Amino acid sequence: MEQSKMTQVFGISPDELRESILTDVRAEFKSLALNFQPIIPPEYLTRQETAIILKVSLVTLSDWNKKKILNPYRLGNLIRYKRSEIEQSLICINAKKV
């Protein structure tokens, strides 16, 4: 036999309770909407795109891969670089020069 739980509220009308709940729910949704950060998928660049951004040759890019300056990702014969990691590498290089 199932027992149902009942909460009784005194001193407030059903409409007032409903409006109070709606107000609180709307405030929570507004707070969530202000703090919402959508997940941005990582952008992958080709070797040519990366070389253009860094203004280096493909040979230099391959040399940097061997020296672990850059972190390439391989899918079969394709080599890709994450844009965020390329930008972070530039920030690190510029920070060392200062």
Q: Domain residue spans in the chain?
A: 44-97
User: Is residue 83 within 8 Å of residue 43, measured between CB atoms?
Assistant: yes
**What pLDDT is recorded for position 61?**
94
**What pLDDT is recorded for position 28?**
93
Could you give phi then psi for residue 57, rounded to 5 degrees?
Answer: -85, 165
Q: What is the CATH number of domain 44-97?
A: 1.10.1660
Residue 2 or residue 11, greater confidence: 11
Could you give phi then psi for residue 34, rounded to 5 degrees?
Answer: -70, -35
Q: pLDDT band for position 93 (50/70/90)? A: low
Q: Give yes or no for residue 97 having a pLDDT over 60.
A: no
**What pLDDT is recorded for position 66?**
94
Q: Give yes or no for residue 8 having a pLDDT over 60.
A: yes
**What token pair was written down for 96?**
């060392």
Could you give phi then psi for residue 61, rounded to 5 degrees?
Answer: -60, -45
